[in-house]
Each structure stands twice: as C-alpha cells, then as structure tokens.
A and B are shown apart, each in its own frame.
Chain A
Amino acid sequence: MIEAEGLGKSFDGFQAVEDVSFQVRAGEVVALLGPNGAGKTTTVRMLASLLRPSRGRAAIAGFDVTASPRQVRQSIGLLTEHHGLYTRMRAAEYLSFFGRAYGLAPAVIRRRSDAWLETFGLADAGARRLGEYSKGMRQKLALVRALLHEPPVLLLDEPTSAMDPASAHQVRQSIQALRTDRRALIICTHNLMEAEALADRIAIIRAGRLVAVGGADDLKRTFLGDPVMELRLAQAVDGAAGLLPPEATATASGPDWLRYRTRDPQRVNPQVLTAMARAGRQVVTLAPVERTLEEVYLRAVGTPAESLL
C-alpha cells in the first residue's frame, strides 16, 4: 500500500532524507520515530506528494508520488503536524469545504461528518467557531478532516499531541479501529508508548536515514541484545550463578537476585528452575526484565540515556 525505495530529499545542498526504503502493507500500522529534524515530516510530505523526491521513488496505493500526485493525494488522509484550522468557520462548514475538495457529495459529507464528530465527542461543539475550540478538540477535528474521504492510506503526524489523557486514549482507540485489511497507516510520534501500543512495526529515522525497522520485540533484541531474566531467591544468591546452564550468562546480581541473558528463554528458563531446585535454592520469581522502546530509541538515535536524566 505504501512503498518507498531509496527515497531521498535535499534542500539547497542539505540532505534532509537519504536512501529511505520501506513498505507498509494494507492492514499494517507503522510508527515513524526520530528526533526533531530527523526527516520524518519530509518523508511524510514526499509520500503525500507535497515535496518532490530528489532521489528514489515512492508509491501510494499503486500511484507514483511524482507521476500521479492528484491520485496520491486523493488516496491519502494527512493529519499535519499543525492542525491548521480556519478559525472563523464551524466544524460542519470546515468539513464540508474539505469534503468538496476531495470530491465528496454533500450528503456523504454530512453523514460522515456527523458520524465522526459523534465518535470524537465533538457533536455538541457544532455551533462554536473553531477558534473557540481547545487544542485537543482542534486536533480531533483535524483527524476527522483526514478521515472524511475514507482514504486507503493514513499519514498521521503526532495524532495525540496536545490532547489530555482521556482524549488521547479515545483517539488511540479510534486509530486501532481504523486498522482494516484495506488500510495502511503511518504514525509519526514522539510518544513511544503510543508507538508500541499502536504499531505493528516501528521505523526509526536519524539524520535523514532509516536506522531501524521492525517489530518492537525484534528491535529490542537487535539494539538491546538477548532477553534478560531476573531470578529472585528466598535466600542469599551466593554461588547461584554457577548453577546456570551454559546458554545463560549472568549479567548482574544483588543480595537475593540474579540476572542472566539468554537467547532462548523458553528452553533455558525451565533448566534454570530445575538446577535451582536440585541445589535446594527456593525460587520466589523468575521474570523477564522489562526493556522499553525508549532504550531502543535512544540506542538507535545515538543519545545516551544518561544525558536525559
């Protein structure tokens, strides 16, 4: 549904995006992560036929972004970084304008607008001018604008920024509901929790280059190594490290706990439990050490975690 191949963009000698290649299939959600200025918005703008790629090619729903820009724009619902509403208008007028621009019939615009405004809790604000809306309401209306023509591809730049937790939860649920086998989504976000919750795959972009693409677990394995398990014992940990099987490597220990890394927890963990039982050690818990996407992100973009503390 979305294809990018060697995509690059330079502005007056500045390389904003370089050799970006990825695919997003129908029914898939991909989160695009990266620091400010990494090239996320430029990539999205190229995919939306707003910027011409300097190199490479991209296609949306089968349409080349350079050769068929109108078809590409018709196939895309774009939630821009800034909601950019016309503040003197009311919601219905605003959506009617964009609906007409996308070639929708007035009755269709009305029906879809009413449904989406209801879904996002904006139906009661219909009489108010958009300038009177809160930031979150504006963001939701901008999202409705992007959904109005039911595009097969959604490019959402910071869909829940400026929203209170309840509104953000509501929008995340709606995005989950938008995931169909006919629709592909790219979400640009700085909210890593949101990315992990919504996306099937995560793409990390740094200085214009794609440095990692994959599922959250795959990325954790790639950037943080094999899973780490934590074993808690009822008594002191002394000598317990020596009981671990060869496939488990001790990484750290405390008074009553021990951590080890293993490539295959499914197979190794039962062996560890058996070894401990044979040695008369009482195991309180054995659980994986939680590794966050934030750690992956910071490794990928090259910022040491300590610098953020």
Chain B
Amino acid sequence: MTAAVAPHGVLSGAWIVASREIRDQLRDWRILTPIALLTLFFPLLMNFTAQTAVDFVAQYGAPIIAERLIPFLLMVVGFFPISISLVIALETFAGERERLSLEPLLATPLSNGELYLGKMLAALVAPLGAAYLGIGVYLAGLVFRIGWTSSPVLLVQVFLLTTVQAVVMVSGAVVISSLTTSVRAANLLASFIIIPVAQLIIGESLIMFWGRYNVLWWIILGQALVAILLVRSGLYLFDREELLGREIDALDLRWAWRTFRLAFLDGAPSLAGWYGGVFRRSLPRLRTCALLLAVALVGGYLVGVRFAALWPVPAAVFDLEGGRASLGANLDALGFISGGGWWWVFFHNARALLLASLLGGFTFGVLAVVVLMTPVGIIGYFAGTLAMAGEPVVRYLAALVLPHALFEIPAAVIAGAAILRLGLVAVSPAGGRTLGSAWLTALAEWSRVMLGVVFPLLAAAAAVEVFVTPRLALLLLAGG
C-alpha cells in the first residue's frame, strides 16, 4: 500500500517550517524593534565611534589604534544582531510546547530533519539578514565619513565569522530548546552558549587588535566544525516522543544512579565476573575510538618533531653533557626511586586523565584528545631536538620513556577512547535511548575501564617510572 507522503525534499520541507516562523517573527514588535535598532542605529553609532577614535588618535600620532578599531567594530556590528538569533532559537520548540502548538506540528509528515532545520533556519534568517544589512550600513557610513574601505579578505572573514557564529549559537540553542520543557529552562541553560561565545568574542577581539587576521580563518574553521557537530547532535537528539513525552525538567538522581549502576555492574555476579566483562565487552566496544586516539597520538608526536625543526632549542641551553652528569642528582631531587615519588607520578597522571575527561565531556571529546596529544607532542619535540643535535634518539627514548610508556601509553589510549566515546554520545546513535540514559551508560563504561584497566596501568607505569626508568636512564645515559 502506498500513501502520498508530502513530496518535498529536506530543504523545502524545512523552508515550510521556517517561512511560517519568519512571518510570525516579522509581526512581533519585540523582535523587530531591536533588529531595526541594531541594523540602522547601531552601525551609525559605530561610524561615529570610529570617526571620533580616528580623529582622537590622529592627534597623538597613533593611527594604528584606529586601523585596528575599525575592523573590530565591523565584527561587533555583525555580532550584535545575531545575538537575537539566540533568543529566537531558544524559544523554537520550548515556546511551541508552552503554547501547546507543538503536537499538531509534530503530527504532520514533516521529517525530524525538516522540523529541526526549519526551526534553525527560522532563527537564523532574520538576525543574519539584519547583521549583513548592519555591516553594509556601517561600511557605507565609513566610506562617506572617513573614506575607509575594507579589504575584500577582511570583508569575507567578517561575513563568514558572523555566519558561523550565528549557526553555532542557533544550532546549540535549538538543541537546548528541543531538550527542555519551558522557555525559562531553555534560557537558564543558554549560559552554556553565552559564556563560551562571549569568551570567543573576547579572543577574536584580541586577535583583531593584535592584527593577526590570518588566525581568524582558523577560528572560522573551528566554529564551522563545531556547528556541524552541533547540527549533527541536534538532528540525532531530536525526538518527537521526547518533545511530547517529557513533562518536567526534574533531576531524578535515583533514576540516574540506577541507570549508572546497572551499566557499571553490567550484570556481573562477582568481582571476577565484572573484570571479565571489562575485558570481554567494554574494551572491545572502545576499539574504534582507541584507533582514532592512537592516530591522534602519532599525529601529536609528529607535530612535536616538526615543531623541533621550526623552533629549535638554542644551543646555549641544550647541554646534554651537563644533563647526563647531573641526571642522578636531578632524579633524586624529583623524589624518584622512592615511594613518595611513585605516589606523585601516579597522582599527576591520574589527575591529567581526569582533567582530560572533564574537558572532553562538554567538547565532544575534542579537548580531551588535545590534552592527551600534548605530552606525546613534547616527547616528539624532545626526540626531534635530539635528532637535530645528532644524538641517538632511540637510546634516549629507551632510557627515559619506553619502560613506563609501555604501561602509560595503553592507559592513555584506553582512557582517551572512553572519554571520546563519552563526548561523542550526543552526536552518535545510542539505540533509541534518551540523551541522559546514553550519557550515563557511557559514563559507566568510562568508570569501568578507568577503575578496571587505566588506574592499574597507571599504578604500574608510576612504579616503573620511579623505580625502573631512572636506573635504566643512569645505566644507558650516565654510564652507571
């Protein structure tokens, strides 16, 4: 049997949703007034600011300040109108829920993707249009007032920056809106968007005042990737049942503990059974993430080697002979070859992995990978520097790194894989479960491998690093 399902593609279906919302927005004075002010009045105010600044600094022979201020204001003029998109986006699903108009919309044959993208487009079009218009007004004002014209590259950068920032904020806000039951709750959660974006704007401002406009390309690229991840996450998390079924945003600790405990114990009848489960089920599940992480670590090492060539250590401070002579004393000073040293090394490594987990938890695992790549990058830099100095790299690595790395690197790869999995929960299918349930299960998996494998490996690595590596280092490098 066939049913004539609405014959529209994803984009035209999304446009059906978006066009209705945009029409609705254009009838709401609470949205129109700030957009009009930010599009027309604010750019003119910025023109005035720019002209005043130019005139002022010219008196003191510091035109560079004006040169940096004008592009910065260009970015600001674009950013202010798009901040409204956040408000619109937060209201999309949560607002419809509150007005009880969501169910008829969800009952249409429009797909989840069409609904989600439609809401995103609806939140983007008017503020972005206003931002582009504002930039246009600002640029036109500058031409007439002080005869300043933007370079095409800067113009493209500001347009792209404005666009990706709006997409990042809106995609994040639509995710929040689809996961909350009220506009109030959505507004409260908006801090997770507002704070990082505010930090980003501060960073962009510093870069622009610093005059490193090339760095803006990386920021645009980074934000584009974040936007893709957020849209992917939003599409995955969008669920008609969740939108209709959830009545209150209550924190159910009992349920959370039950879900976590169930996944953590994994039905094991005894400690031995639990351990067997960690090796038979948990570790194989991390295979793909572990592979990705291993590749990232190799990449980190190679980046370190490359950096050694780009920024070599000055010969004056690169004293291998002296280092070898004082190796034993240095190891003693660090507390190596002692029980206290073992605890210090273990605690340091465990803390690094916990910090990576924390950072990875809300950055889709990305910052965790960066944190784990850093020490490997440093080793790469060290190896590269030795190689350039004509020293036997393999001997140094075998003496100073390899013994404990045999335990430490597998621990880092396994922990990193678990963190990556935890971070990717929001963007990868979890068999129809809710985000909360999937995240708690991934957290339980992380806890299983951390307790069962990673911490024991770190303990062994610390013991080797404190009691074995120094002796080997003394033997191989200091001749005794």
Contacts and interface: CB of A to CB of B under 8 A. Distances in A.
B357 to A, nearest CB: 28
Contacts of A103: 4-8, 109
Contacts of A68: 3
Interface stretch (B21-29, B81-89, B362-370, B444-452): B21-29
B432 interface: yes
Interface residues on B, range: 35 or more
B315 interface: no
Contacts of A102: 6, 108-109
Given A61-B3, A73-B107, A50 B102 contact: no
Contacts of A88: 24, 27-28
B241 interface: yes
B1 A48 contact: no
A50 B240 contact: yes
B106 interface: yes
A78 interface: yes
Contacts, number: 96
Which of B3, B24, B240 neighbours the largest number of chain A CB atoms within 10 Å of its CB?
B3
B74 to A, nearest CB: 35
A103 B13 CA distance: 9
A209 interface: no
A84 B3 contact: no
A96 to B, nearest CB: 9
A62 to B, nearest CB: 4
B414 interface: no
A80 B23 CA distance: 24
A11 B245 contact: yes
A76 interface: yes
A145 B241 contact: no
Interface string B75-102: 0000000000000000000000001111
Given A61-B1, A63-B1, A70-B111, A142 B104 contact: yes
Contacts of A93: 20, 23
A82 B1 contact: no
A71 B244 contact: no
Given A89-B24, A101-B16, A75 B108 contact: no
Interface string A62-93: 11000010110111101011111111110001
A259 to B, nearest CB: 48
B108 A73 contact: yes
A281 interface: no
Contacts of B101: 84-86
A211 interface: no
Given A73-B108, A101-B109, A142-B104, A51 B244 contact: yes
A100 B16 contact: yes
Nearest to A79: B104
B28 to A, nearest CB: 7
A55 interface: no
Contacts of B27: 88
20 contacts: A48-B107, A50-B107, A63-B1, A63-B3, A70-B111, A71-B3, A74-B4, A74-B5, A75-B3, A78-B104, A82-B103, A86-B20, A87-B99, A88-B24, A88-B27, A93-B23, A101-B105, A101-B110, A103-B7, A145-B104
Interface of A: 11-12, 45, 48-52, 61-63, 68, 70-71, 73-76, 78, 80-89, 93, 97-98, 100-103, 142, 145
